[in-house]
Structure 1
Amino acid sequence: MRTMQQTEASSWRPVQFLGNKLRVLDEVSKVVIRDREPGATVWDAFCGSTVVSQRLASQGMRVLATDKLVCSVTFARAMLSIGRGERADDLDALRAIGSLRMPADYELWAPYVEAEEVALTRGSAEDAIAVSRAVPLRWREASMSPAFRSVFDEVDRASMDGVHRPFASMTSTYAGTYFGVKQAIELDRLVGEVMRLFAHGKIQRWQADAGLTAVASAASAAVFSAGKHFAQPINANQQLTPFQARRLLQDRKIDVSELFLDALNQIEQSAERSGTHNAFELEAEHLSSDLLIEHDVSTVYADPPYTAQQYSRFYHVLDTLTLGVPANLQRKNGQITKGLYPVERFKSAFCSRRAAPIAFRNLAENAYDASARLVISYSESAPGSTGNSRSISLEELLQTVSGVYGACNVDVTTLDIRYRQFNQSSAAYASREDPEVLVVAEHR
Structure 2
Amino acid sequence: MDVRETTLQAAVGAHLAGTHIRRAHRVLQGSGTVAPGLRWPDASDGRDPRADLEAEGRASYAGHYFSPHQASVFDGLYDALPTSPNERDVLLAALLATASDCAAAPGHTAQPFQPTTTALPHIVAAWRIDPLARVRRYIEDLTAVVPRRQGCAAKTTAEEFLNDADLRGAVVFCDPPYSEVQYSRFYHVLEGMAVGGWPSVSGSGRAPELSLRFTSAFSSRRHSTAAFAALFESLRKSGATAILTFPNHLCSNGQSAATLATLAAEQFDVNIQLLDGRHSSLGANASSLGGRVAHRDVAEAVLVLRPRSKR
Report TM bin, short chain.
0.7 to 0.9
Structure 1 segment 191-270 matched on structure 2, within 5 A: 191-194=78-81, 197=82, 199=83, 201=84, 205-225=85-105, 227-234=106-113, 240-268=115-143
What RMSD in Å do the two structures reach over aligned CA positions?
3.2
**1:185 alignment partner, one of 48, 54, 72:** 72
For structure 2, the 5+ residue unaligned runs are 1-22, 40-46
Report the AA paired with residue 165 of structure 2.
Answer: L
- Residue 244 of structure 1 deviates from its aligned partner by 3.7
**1:107 alignment partner, one of 4, 19, 27:** 27
- Residue 228 of structure 1 deviates from its aligned partner by 4.5
TM normalised by structure 2 equals 0.74
Once the two structures are superposed, what CA deviation does each residue of 1:328-352 show, in whole Å capped at 9, x if it has no partner? 236xxxxx43322112111222222
Comparing both chains, which one has the higher relative contact order based on Cα–Cα distances under 8 Å and sequence gaps of 6 or more? 1
Q: Greater CA deviation, 373-382 or 393-402?
A: 373-382
Give the SS at the match of 2:274: strand
C-alpha separation between the residues in 1 aligned to 2:72 and 2:111? Answer: 20
Structure 1 position 418 matched with structure 2 position 278: yes
C-alpha separation between the residues in 2 aligned to 1:272 and 1:397? Answer: 40
Report the AA paired with residue 108 of structure 1.
Answer: L
Structure 1 position 403 matched with structure 2 position 290: no
Partner of 1:435: 299
TM normalised by structure 1 equals 0.54
Give the SS at the match of 1:435: strand
Partner of 2:206: 340
Partner of 1:316: 188
Once the two structures are superposed, what CA deviation does each residue of 1:267-292 show, in whole Å capped at 9, x if it has no partner? 345x5712232212112253443x12
Partner of 2:179: 307
Once the two structures are superposed, what CA deviation does each residue of 1:52-94 show, in whole Å capped at 9, x if it has no partner? xxxxxxxxxxxxxxxxxxxxxxxxxxxxxxxxxxxxxxxxxxx
In proportion to residue count, which structure has more helix? 1
Structure 1 position 329 matched with structure 2 position 204: no
For structure 1, the 5+ residue unaligned runs are 1-102, 113-134, 137-143, 157-167, 331-335, 383-387
Partner of 1:298: 170
- Residue 108 of structure 1 deviates from its aligned partner by 2.0
C-alpha separation between the residues in 1 aligned to 2:56 and 2:295? Answer: 41
Go from structure 1 to structure 2 and tell me whether the alpha carbon gap of 1:252 and 1:431 turns closer, same or farther (over 3 Å shift).
closer
C-alpha separation between the residues in 2 aligned to 1:244 and 1:147? Answer: 39
Identity rate, percent: 26
Go from structure 1 to structure 2 and tell me whether the alpha carbon gap of 1:430 and 1:280 turns closer, same or farther (over 3 Å shift).
closer
C-alpha separation between the residues in 1 aligned to 2:107 and 2:232? Answer: 33
Structure 1 segment 142-161 matched on structure 2, within 5 A: 147=38, 150-151=48-49, 153=51
Go from structure 1 to structure 2 and tell me whether the alpha carbon gap of 1:418 and 1:432 turns closer, same or farther (over 3 Å shift).
closer
Q: Is contact 1:287–1:363 with CA below 8 Å preserved after alignment? A: no
Go from structure 1 to structure 2 and tell me whether the alpha carbon gap of 1:154 and 1:365 turns closer, same or farther (over 3 Å shift).
same
- The higher radius of gyration belongs to 2
Q: Is contact 2:221–2:252 with CA below 8 Å preserved after alignment? A: no
- Residue 322 of structure 1 deviates from its aligned partner by 0.9
